[in-house]
Structure formats: C-alpha cells, structure tokens
Structure 1
Amino acid sequence: MGDQRTYEQIIALWAVKTKDFMTADWFPMSEVLKRISNRIINEVQGVNRVLDDVRSKPPSTIDTGTEQAKQTNEVELQREIEMQRVRIMHLLRALDDKDRIIEQLKSQQQ
C-alpha cells in the first residue's frame, strides 16, 4: 500500500461465538486477525484493508450479515453495469464520429 491513497476493496471479518445460532457475541481474534489480514492484503488482488467487525448479533438468524452482503454486491454490480453501459455508449459515439470523419476525408479527396 505504501503512502499513496488507494481505492480498493475492504474485507470485514466477523467472528462470533454462539450456542443457538439465534444470538451471537463477537469473538476476539487479535493474533489470528493479524495473520489473516496480512495474508489477504498481500495475496488477494484488489483488497487493501481488512477490518475486524466486533458487533454482537441480536436475536435473529445469523445469516443476516450475508443477506446485507448480497444486497451490497447487487448494488455494486448494478453500478458496474451502468458504468459499462456508459463506456459502450462513448465507444459507439466515437465509432460514429470516426465513420463521419472517414466519409469527410473521402469526399475531400475526390
């Protein structure tokens, strides 16, 4: 990472301990987190930060966090699709401009 600002992905690790999978408390993993985060940052391309999520889980199902992650991924996917659509539109306009320029050059040569 160095001293420059980066705009890459962040990974949050959420370790919990539970007896009934209805409620959960966060599990401290400071030493393990150091090793895990170091490996992720150095080995996973596009990730520049690993966070330790220390929130407890209220009564409900444990997979609520994964549902939030799915929704976040869907929003990011929609954003990426929109960006690709805009890029394609710019490319099509550039091709159209190129065709017009070629036609103008041909007519000037005649």
Structure 2
Amino acid sequence: MSHVPETPPSGGHRDEEYSMPCAEALLAGTLALMTGYVQACCDSHRQAMGHKIAANLRLLAETDGFTGHFRTVVWSLQARWAQQAQSQDGNADNAAHLALSAAEQRRALWLAAPEAMQ
C-alpha cells in the first residue's frame, strides 16, 4: 500500500489529477473559483464565476456529509455570494444603460445643426 502525502513536497509539482470524494472535489473547485474571482481581469468573467460560486455553495450546504455547523457557515456564505452576484447583475444592467444613454447623447449632438454659420 503506497502512502500519498497530504500536501505536495516543497519545490516539486504533483500531477493535478486528483481522486477525491465528490463533496471534497466540489469544495476544492469552489475554492479555486473564489481564487479566480479575485484574480479575474474582466467583470464578465467575474460575474459568471460569482454565480457558479453561489451555486456550488448551495450544493455544499445541502450535502449530508458535513456537520450541521459547517453547513450553517456555508449557507451564510452562499447567501452573501448570491447577493453579490445579484448586485453585479444590477450593476452590469445599470452600466449598460448608462453607456447607452451616453452614446445616445453623443449621437444627438452629432445630428444637431449649428444655429449660425460664420
């Protein structure tokens, strides 16, 4: 029976294929998404990741393999991430509306004829 270390040896890289229980895989994937969310370069990626994080946290909170205390914490996190995702949706809609309004204002100026010519 071979022993698999809990953490990769320092200075070395292990193969990134892991075999773990579904709940642990979901938790690991959610943590990776959270890291990606913080490091995202554009809001469209961040918005999609926020929705996926909220969905994953909901699944984790509904998983029977965790203690009630852990699931309570995850439900709290899920509510915060869901609120964040909804806020981003509203901000994206508002930003799109403001951009359209600004474009319409510029277009209106393009069509305006001068009152007098010199």
TM-score, normalising length: structure 1: 0.41
The answer to which structure, 1 or 2, has the higher relative contact order (CA under 8 A, 6+ apart) is 1
- Which structure's residues are more often helix, by fraction? 2
- Which structure's residues are more often strand, by fraction? 1
TM-score, normalising length: structure 2: 0.39
